């Protein structure tokens, strides 16, 4: 197997997901082989990483992500994560991971109560995660957000833990939604699960206004490929 090996990346499709195909196209253009996995599947195929895409799973009923976390596939996602597998949650996928307890914290309605859809600037806090190796610490990324409930919340104790453990991976340079400590993306304790509200899959081509999303998704492709090569 060569360094050009195409790692397989599962993209979970919930009823109401709407960025699954954008994510698939983005990963395909980055040299990965996306595999769409329906939420009712009890098992994951053999993949190097799992992505929970953006959208409005189950209509965002009750709380965003609250119902999706009980989808049959989530048991398999949890086992995959527990074994050290790489899991990325984008927007609604981030909300699902928080509700599932795979990531800390919760996402609340934006401070402005408005749905916000625009490019934002992000500062890379950690460039040493499997999701950010193509970036540099302190680098500014331009990636769009599009959400109504992206206000990240952690209580004092959790926030102190996130800060001291260095688990805040991305911060907003100009906080658009009221997120505590300007948090745009956080990782779990082991660093193999990461969620962010911005949409890197919508910023993979200069035609889209920015290709900084490649730095995030490409890092994950690199990490998934590396795992493929080490286990081959």
Partner 1 sequence: MKATVLVRPKPGILDPQGQAVQRSLQQLGFPVQEARIGRVVDLELDLGDAQRTRAELERMCEQLLANPLIESYEISVTSE
Q: List residues near partner 1 by CB under 8 A.
A: 62-63, 66-67, 70, 99, 105-106, 108-113, 151, 153, 155, 178
Give the largest CA-CA distance in the chain.
50
Distance CA 122, CA 203 (A): 13
Main-chain phi, psi angles of 221, to 5 degrees = -60, -45
Check 39, 147, 199, 202 and give the catalytic one.
Answer: 199
Check 64, 149, 201, 202 and give the catalytic one.
Answer: 201
Q: Which is nearer to partner 1, 19 or 99 (CB)?
A: 99
Q: How far is the CB of 21 from partner 1 (least distance, A)?
A: 29
Q: Angle at CA 221, nearest 5°, toward 217 and 226? A: 150
Q: How far is the CB of 227 from partner 1 (least distance, A)?
A: 32
Distance CA 184, CA 124 (A): 10
Active site residue 91: yes
Q: How far is the CB of 15 from partner 1 (least distance, A)?
A: 17
Identify whether the C-beta of residue 104 lies closer than 8 Å to the C-beta of residue 98.
yes
What are the CA-CA distances from residue 143 to residues 6, 43, 195, 204, 212 (Å)? Answer: 25, 32, 14, 9, 6
Q: Which is nearer to partner 1, 53 or 105 (CB)?
A: 105
Check 39, 64, 91, 125 and give the catalytic one.
Answer: 91
Q: Angle at CA 84, nearest 5°, toward 79 and 86? A: 95
Q: Which is nearer to partner 1, 69 or 225 (CB)?
A: 69
Q: Which is nearer to partner 1, 18 or 175 (CB)?
A: 175
Q: Which is nearer to partner 1, 62 or 229 (CB)?
A: 62
Q: How far is the CB of 107 from partner 1 (least distance, A)?
A: 9
Q: How far is the CB of 189 from partner 1 (least distance, A)?
A: 16
Element (H, E) at 184: strand 183-187
Element (H, E) at 218: helix 213-231
Point out the residues that are catalytic: 91, 199, 201
């Amino acid at each position: 197997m060569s360094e050009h090996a195409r790692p397989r990346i599962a993209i979970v499709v919930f009823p109401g997901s709407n960025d699954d195909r954008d994510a698939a196209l983005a990963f395909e253009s980055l040299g990965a082989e996306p595999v769409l996995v329906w939420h009712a599947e009890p098992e994951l195929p053999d993949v190097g990483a799992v992505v929970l895409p953006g959208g409005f799973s189950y209509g965002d009923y009750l709380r965003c992500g609250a119902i999706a976390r009980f989808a049959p596939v989530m048991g398999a996602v949890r086992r995959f994560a527990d074994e050290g597998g790489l899991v990325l949650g984008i927007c609604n996928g981030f909300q699902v991971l928080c509700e599932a307890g795979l990531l800390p914290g919760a996402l609340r309605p934006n401070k402005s109560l408005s749905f916000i859809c625009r490019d934002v600037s992000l500062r890379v806090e950690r460039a040493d995660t499997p999701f950010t190796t193509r970036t540099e610490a302190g680098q500014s990324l331009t990636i769009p957000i599009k959400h109504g409930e992206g206000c990240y919340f952690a209580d004092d104790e959790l926030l102190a833990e996130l800060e001291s453990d260095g688990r805040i991976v991305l911060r907003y340079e100009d906080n658009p939604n009221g997120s505590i400590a300007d948090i745009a993306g956080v990782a779990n304790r082991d660093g193999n699960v990461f969620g962010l509200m911005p949409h890197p899959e919508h910023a993979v081509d200069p035609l889209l206004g920015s290709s900084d999303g490649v730095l995030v998704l490409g890092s994950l492709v690199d990490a998934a490929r590396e795992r493929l090569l080490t286990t081959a």
